[in-house]
Chains A and B, each alone.
Chain A
Amino acid sequence: MSAVSTLEAAAGYKASRTLPIWAEVRRQASRRRTQLALGFMVVLPIIVWAAFEFGNSNPGDDEGDGGGSFSSIADLATSSGLNFALFCLAVSAGFLLVVVVALFFGDTVASEASWGSLRYLLAVPVPRARLLGVKLTVAAGYSLLALLLLVGTGLLIGTVRYGWGPLGSTIAAEISPAEGLLRLLGIVAYLAVTLLVVAGLAFLLSVLTDAALGAVGGAVMLWILSSILNQIEALGDLRKILPTHYTEAWRAMLSTPIQADELAKGAISAVVYATLFWGFAFYRFTRKDVTS
């Protein structure tokens, strides 16, 4: 040990090397909730498959709902692997994926704070902006992984059981398998973009609170609130600024040609909201007193 050292930092310390991405990936990977969330993404298509196999599957016998495009996606779910994957996405887009994304983003900082390990990371010192940046990147990676696991498993199970066929949709002609796969990936990409809103919200709450459950639950609750407001037609054009207004626009990918208009608007809305939420999260976290 050198008796006199005037180095600015300990030997080997470099701010940009603290909390490497892989370290954070491993920190999260070892958590039960990460494993459960990702596992469920694999299990869900299996459950859906089992429901179609063993349930009283009579798709045409739908309670006469008729025009709803959801029922049409359900009716077609067993027509090909692509449709099965699409169905898996459709049933989880509204809530499950929101919860999973909120979990990955809302839990990440708040749980460190509640364990007390956050202050030791900051004392390493991991620069605060870097800490958030790494946490954000890893949470985004896990969320994307969850989405891809869901659609990948759905595609695999669907293709094995129902075969590789064109992507059917009742609002347009069938889409050839190759094009259909692209469309499916497009839907995944769009869903990923719209989920940025909940990602931003959960992350912001995660920075503001020490309670991981509060951040996750709060983000999901606000999401639901926005969805409810979006159902109220009387709000008119005000609904267009709701963060969840364009979440259903992925269905536009099923028509031929793709109705890109709302996709673009939805992407703008999501990107702007996510930037605001994340921006505020960074602003707040890099200035706040960590008292947990």
Chain B
Amino acid sequence: MSALTAGLRRAIPRLNRRRAVPVAATLVVLAAAAVWAARPTTDPWTTEDLRLSGDSVELDARFYLPRDRAGKVPAVLLAHGFGGTKESVRSDAESLAERGYAVLAYTARGFGRSTGQIHLDSPDHEVKDAQRLLDWLATRPEISTDATGDPKVAAVGGSYGGALALMLAGQDQRVDAIVPSITWNDLGQALVPQAAGTSATGVFKKSWAGYFFGNGGAAPLGGAAAALTGGTDAGRGGAMPATDPACGRFAEDVCKAYLQMATGGVPDESTLALLRRSSPASVLDKIKAPTLLIQGAVDTLFPLSEADANAKGIAAAGTPVKVAWFTGGHDGGAGPTSDSDRVKFLTVQWLDHYLKGEGEAPGDDFTFSRVAGFSALDRGLVTNGYSTDAYPGLSGTGSTEITLQGAAQQVANPPNGNPGAISSMPGLTGRLSSVLSGGIALDVPGQHAVFESAPLTTAAEVSGSPTLRLRVASPTGEAVVFVKLYDVDPNGTATLSAGLVAPVRLTGLPAVLDQAQPVTVTLPAVVRQIEAGHTVRVTVATSDQAFLTPAAPAVYTVAVEPALTLPILTGKPIADPSGLWWWALAGVVGVIVLGLLALLLVRRVLHRRRDVTVTEEYADTPLVVNGLRKAYGDGFVAVQEISFTVQRGQVVGLLGPNGAGKTTTLRVLMGLTQPTAGEIFVFGHRLVPGAPILSRVGSLVEGPGFLPHLTGYQNLKAYWHATGRPWADARFDEALEIAGLGDSIHRKTRKYSHGMRQRLAIAQAMLGLPELLVLDEPTDGLDPPQIAEMRRVLQRYATDGRAVLVSSHLLAEVEQTCTHAVVVNKGRIVASGLVDDIVGESPSVQLDVSDVPAATRILEELGVRSVTAEGANGLIVDMNGTPRAEVVASLVGAGIGVDRLVPRRRLEDAFLTLVGDNSRGSGDR
């Protein structure tokens, strides 16, 4: 652990002047990025909150205007979903305003801060409110108009707002285009659907109806109400008068209709009439505004069939209609990004053409999407988009027939629908994945009959409403059943696509199946690819928690005719943007490869242009160092100026105290460090880091460096392999002999002593017998006999034209080993030349005698150069050529006892004089 922290400490650079610049630059860039990210931005639109008058109600509204507009702009009337407010369409409003439209977003009556009661998009109330808003738009000077009082305006909205757009366009011809999405055609069919081809009333969709009724009913203070489109401020209308607890903000007639319908499950005439009045179905033939219908395939409230009916009705009047499906809806939410982007694009394209007159007319092509799988990162769904030339309706462009197997089965209707099968979970928008993967679908044993096909031999691209024929017998003469289509994979996992079921209420049924007449059941439209090998399972269930089923228990007999028709639609895949990413990847890799090639090319050119001239005058000189200087990044100058030469046959000692700059010099010499100034020539070739001439130099710098897990022998081998030179050139045996490690050569180097490693390192430096050998403190760690041996080896080595450079702080070593010495101190050369020259021919002697004054006198008579007293009994004598034997004989002859005679060399004197008393260097580098 401590190694880790130490390593990290080393990895994290300390701040010094040289590093301060890049660090500061990085900080500046980061700060700039932060400022840019946090900069105050001006929205490209302005907003104005207004209280506008509707048809005898006051409407809470917000008016968005593009900030940069040239002249008048067309307007968009933006209506929200049930339970929402002007806030819930905010992002849509802003994106439209950004596209250059004035947007009037408002809260419908009975919601939020608008006054009034909910009349369910009634032509007499909500639609009239919208007409008043058109009047208001026509008075605004910023809005372009078709005629006086007739603004250029589109109505856009989803669900509750979508139906409003349709009905407004049917009631008011001033609307120039509409984009209704996920909305209904016939509220009666949507809330009380009937999937069988019979006139019997459908089955009440109790959970959706209850969900919305609760939403509007709790209005004045119930903050928990959630809007379809996500708004949650429905309960802020605190100024509302006290309301009927049963009906909340619903108008009395709407409330009554709901209560009636929810009680028995069968709507009466007045309820049906009310639902019909609140349905676009009644005004489709009057719609003249070009209509873009967007419907979701994951929508158990308003399935694809609602948009299909709207499209057919509007097209029948000769009005341009375009349909698009996306994977989402009241159950599925906005769908994956690819889908919401497509819907946004289509909307803008539609408005741009029909409102601004920009862009070509949107064609008749129809786009839809199909689930392709899950996104690995956010676990969301991924869809693929497809397009066809024209809207095919719900029956596809073709069909395939599947044969179902299964005998007639008896199924029980549970009393009061409990326990009930589960198909969808109304109100849980956004749970697209669970809805689609069928995770929540559940059938209750005994309450459903199963009819299954053989595994499909080819995949079926189902798009539209499958149909089948069903026979039911019931002792009560009446039956409510739910027909579901499962996609069953080979593992047996069954998926109910989008949680869609076909509710069927049959009346006038016989008690025995034989007499039952088959009825055609149209299943809800699905978009799904059923893979080859999967089977199709049709389930007929008696209960479903989303619907109101007969309270009385009964046992039905159900049978399905073998033929199941699946509508097939093969679309052209819409260009998938993910392909772009692969191109981007290819581009990135291409750029990197090109950059690399360019770099290599530049390097090659530089390599060719490098200085390969041989300086002739040094061509035969192993080493020339000229004015070398090394200053480190932190300003420390390790080498001030050093110049010296190593000739063939010389053993040169680089002598100096610790920190004198010896090692730095050698480091530069090995190409490990860049010199600040000066140059080095080896055999006339300039030496730069990595220069090939280094291959003629063997080195030991700053101690041995071996792979601890290898033996000494393997280490030498590994080193020689790294040189890439022929094995025969290594002169391995000679090197091993120098190492003198015996059998230890086959032990791992991590077990070596310091001296063994040192000897191995010297052997490594001598591998291949390089012409110049550079050794840094070679005798470090050797015992005296080894030192003596090393001296002999080095002296022998410097024959045959080779040369040796030894650095040392030990005088004796240099004196005994080297022919030449270079004395450095504090980064400068203080002396250089032959060791003998530096030492001098007349070495001095240290004498310990019994009588110092007498000895001094006798010595002076002998004619020595100088006599200096040292200590109590010591004398330093400069012999001046007088043989030592004579001196001793004279002293002894004079009766003076000689305790000791030690030759004293001048190198030490010279050294001490040169470097001064302060042998401490200027730093330990």
A residues with a Cβ closer than 8 A to B are 1, 3-15, 17-20, 22-23, 26-27, 30-32, 67, 69, 110, 115-129, 168, 171-174, 205, 208-215, 217-218, 245-246, 248-252, 254-262, 264-265, 267-268, 271-272, 275, 287, 289-291
List which B699-717 residues lie within 8 A (CB) of chain A. 699, 701-710, 714
Contact A117 B705 (CB under 8 A): yes
Instruction: For B500, list chain A residues within 8 Å (CB).
Output: none
Decide if B6 is an interface residue (CB 8 Å cutoff): yes
9 smallest A-B Cβ distances: which pairs? A214-B7, A211-B7, A116-B705, A255-B373, A264-B581, A17-B724, A261-B578, A9-B692, A251-B376
Instruction: For A245, list chain B residues within 8 Å (CB).
Output: 377
Decide if B902 is an interface residue (CB 8 Å cutoff): no
A114 to chain B, nearest CB (A): 9
Contact A271 B689 (CB under 8 A): no
Instruction: For B603, list chain A residues within 8 Å (CB).
Output: 129
Contact A214 B723 (CB under 8 A): no
Known A1-B769, A171-B373, A264-B582; contact A12-B692, beta-carbon cutoff 8 A: no
A231 to chain B, nearest CB (A): 12
CB contact between B723 and one of A13, A127, A171, A264 (< 8 Å): that residue: A13
Contact B725 A12 (CB under 8 A): yes
Decide if B683 is an interface residue (CB 8 Å cutoff): yes
Instruction: For A255, list chain B residues within 8 Å (CB).
Output: 372-374, 376, 382
CB contact between B722 and one of A18, A172, A267 (< 8 Å): that residue: A18
Contact B667 A291 (CB under 8 A): yes
User: How many A-B residue pairs lie within 8 Å, measured between CB atoms?
Assistant: 253
Contact A13 B692 (CB under 8 A): yes
Contact B706 A262 (CB under 8 A): no
The 19 sampled A-B contact pairs (Cβ below 8 Å) are A9-B693, A17-B724, A69-B379, A115-B705, A119-B670, A123-B671, A123-B694, A125-B692, A125-B694, A127-B690, A172-B373, A217-B7, A218-B7, A246-B377, A251-B376, A252-B375, A254-B376, A256-B373, A267-B585
Question: A103 CA to B315 CA in the complex, in Å?
Answer: 68
Among B155-163, B325-333, B612-620, B839-847, the stretch in contact with A: B612-620
B residues with a Cβ closer than 8 A to A are 3-4, 6-11, 13, 372-377, 379, 382, 384, 433-434, 489-491, 531, 533-534, 577-578, 581-582, 584-585, 588-589, 592, 603, 612, 614, 619-620, 632, 648, 667, 670-674, 683-685, 689-697, 699, 701-710, 714, 718-719, 721-726, 729, 764, 768-771, 800-802
Contact B706 A117 (CB under 8 A): yes
Contact B11 A10 (CB under 8 A): no
A2 to chain B, nearest CB (A): 8
Instruction: For B373, list chain A residues within 8 Å (CB).
Output: 171-172, 252, 255-259
Instruction: For B673, list chain A residues within 8 Å (CB).
Output: 289-291
Question: A245 CA to B581 CA in the complex, in Å?
Answer: 16
Question: A26 CA to B584 CA in the complex, in Å?
Answer: 38
Instruction: For A7, list chain B residues within 8 Å (CB).
Output: 696
Contacts A209-B7, A289-B632 known; 8 new A-B pairs at CB < 8 A: A5-B696, A6-B614, A6-B683, A12-B726, A14-B724, A20-B721, A122-B689, A211-B8
Question: A213 CA to B375 CA in the complex, in Å?
Answer: 37
Instruction: For A275, list chain B residues within 8 Å (CB).
Output: 592
Instruction: For A271, list chain B residues within 8 Å (CB).
Output: 585, 588-589, 592
A130 to chain B, nearest CB (A): 9
Question: A110 CA to B4 CA in the complex, in Å?
Answer: 12
Residue among B376, B683, B768 having the largest count of chain A Cβ atoms under 10 Å: B376
Known A271-B585, A271-B589, A272-B588; contact A19-B693, beta-carbon cutoff 8 A: no
Question: A3 CA to B771 CA in the complex, in Å?
Answer: 9
Contact B725 A13 (CB under 8 A): yes
Instruction: For B674, list chain A residues within 8 Å (CB).
Output: 287, 289
Instruction: For B697, list chain A residues within 8 Å (CB).
Output: 123
Question: A23 CA to B723 CA in the complex, in Å?
Answer: 10
Question: A172 CA to B768 CA in the complex, in Å?
Answer: 65
Contact A4 B801 (CB under 8 A): yes
Question: A200 CA to B543 CA in the complex, in Å?
Answer: 60
Instruction: For A26, list chain B residues within 8 Å (CB).
Output: 718, 721
Question: A110 CA to B10 CA in the complex, in Å?
Answer: 11
Contact A125 B690 (CB under 8 A): yes
